[in-house]
Structure formats: structure tokens, C-alpha cells
Amino acid sequence: MTQSNGELSPPFEVIEPPMWRAPIIFNSPHSGSVYPSEFLRASRIDLAGLRRSEDSFMDELIGDLSGRGFPTVKVNFPRSYVDVNREPYELDPRMFSGRLPSFANTRSMRVAGGLGTIPRVVGDGQEIYRERLSVDEALLRIEGLYKPYHRALRRLINKAHQAFGTVILVDCHSMPSIGISRDEPRRPDVVIGDRYGTSCASLLPDVVEDTMAALGYSIGRNKPYAGGFITEHYGNPASGLHTVQLELNRAIYMDERRRERGARFAQVIADFAALADALAAIPLVDLGPFQAAAE
């Protein structure tokens, strides 16, 4: 799917149920597949190559949850264009003509790997751009896409927190079935990331693991993915703000080579619904400490 940058509308979608069943938000920040035409022209990689970075169909896997009483958020622009799971200004000076703002984080590990807010490479290490971008273009994308998304997500989190006194953000991603390194062991079906116990109450990853394991999934924790900027930034369990990242093995639900939905697609949708039900069954008092909502 391609559109011009001016037609990236809506850039993201927040779908709220009429009645919230629980303070649980499901977020898909990397499933966007609307590629601006000027981005494709500037890329030395074809569309199929760019799409290897997508968490393809993850927005569909969680899409039914809004009808079950859980708000969902999905980003429509691709992560190779702007990655919202980064700090706002993780930027690689080698990518740009002109001087970056002094407040840009040019030395993070993610920038070093080419995967900053404006990525230099796609997931398998291929360089994206034919030529350097202007700094103004980078800042335009951040102001026009990145910041509005985070404002909307923050508003939704605050709404849940004020109404319920606590909130759970489930940040949903997918991973290639095998890593780039041949030495990496076979990846599990689901990797749960909680920033090594810092982004949420320990009860949450336990419930996720127990629920998904009972449904037949193999489980890993924090390796190779412990959670990105969203998990770290929005997770503050001492304040009742809990964030857990889920990485689903793409081989479970799709044909990775053809980028098509697989035979188990409908079953995975049902399994996400079962997980949402299990999380909703957690007594809110078990997610404390939190400030009780006003009567």
C-alpha cells in the first residue's frame, strides 16, 4: 500500500470501546504498511525489502479486541519511515545533510545499529536511502507523525489511569522466526519483555506466560527482546502504570517469505482474546500501589 506523505491519513488509529471492560490497552506500533511515495523514491530498497521490517498483520491480530471492551492503537505508517518505539530524537548524523539539534541522541546503541527514530537500515541491515536526508525532513516526520502518536497514546493511558487508578499497556510486536546470527538458538513462539522486571508488576508477565503456555505456545523472557522505548517510557509500576511487550514469532501466524496470513491466523486472534480475558481477570488491587479513582 502506498500513499503520498500528505495522504498519510490517518497516520494512526485509536479505537476505543463504548465501555472499557478493564484498564488494558493493546498497541501495535510497527504494523504500519502505508508507504509514502516520496519515501519509496528515496529508497534504494524495493517495497518488498522495506516490508521485512514490518510487524505484518499484528494490527489485525489485536483488531477484534476493541469489540471485546479493550481499546486498541495501531500505527499506519511504516517503522522504516518513522519508528515510534524510539526516543523522539535518536538520530544518526551520518544520515543527514546539515547539523542535528544539540538535544538529539546520536550515540545510543539503537542509532549505532542504524535503527533510530528515522532508521538508516531495515531489520536485516540493508541501507535504506540513496542519498542523505535533510535535517528538516527528519524533524518534519517527528513533529508530524511521531509526536502526535505519543500524545494520543499518553491521553489514552491517562484516561485509563484516572478512571481505574491503574493501567496495563500491552505493546504488541512480531519477530522473524530465526535471527540474523546462525549461532542464535531457535526462537520461542512468544517473547515477553518487561525490561527485566522494571516496566510492570511481576504478576503480569506471569499471567501472560501461564495463559499462552496453556494455549500451546513456547515462551521466552526478555531475550532477545526486553522491550523498547514504549515499554521503558510508559512503564512505571510504582505509579500503577504497567507496560509489557509481546513479541510473537511470525512463523506462527504468517508465511514469512510470501508475507501472507497463515493457516493459524484465526486461531491466534482467538488466543489474543483469551489473553485479554486473562489479564482482565486480574484484580486491580493486585496491581498496586495505585491511587484509587474518585467516586
Helix/strand/coil (H, E, C) string of the chain?
Answer: CEECHHHCCCCEEEECCCCCCCCEEEEECCCCCCEEHHHHHHECCCHHHHHHHCCCCHHHHCHHHHHHCCCEEEECCCCCCCCCCCCCCECCHHHEECCCCCCCECCCHHHHCCCCCCCCECCCCCECECCCEEHHHHHHHHHHHHHHHHHHHHHHHHHHHHHHCCEEEEEEEEECCCCCCCCCCCCCCEEEECCCCCCCCCHHHHHHHHHHHHCCCCEEECCCCCCCHHHHHHCEHHHCEEEEEEEEEHHHCEECCCCEECCCHHHHHHHHHHHHHHHHCCCHHHHCCCCCCCC
Minimum mean pLDDT range among 3-17, 64-78, 87-101: 3-17
Whole-angstrom Cα distance, residue 50 to residue 250?
A: 16
The share of the chain scoring above pLDDT 70, in percent, equals 94
In tens, the pLDDT along 215-254 reads: 999 999 999 999 999 999 999 999 999 999 999 999 999 9
Would you list the domain boundaries of the chain? 2-287
In tens, the pLDDT along 134-160 reads: 999 999 999 999 999 999 999 999 999
pTM reported for the whole predicted model: 0.94
Q: Give the pairing type, strands 35-36 and 2-3.
A: parallel
Structure confidence at residue 70 (pLDDT): 98
Query: For residue 2, how many other CB atoms are within 10 A of its CB?
Result: 12
Nearest Cα neighbor of 85 from 241, 238, 215, 193 is 193
CATH topology of domain 2-287: Aminopeptidase (3.40.630)
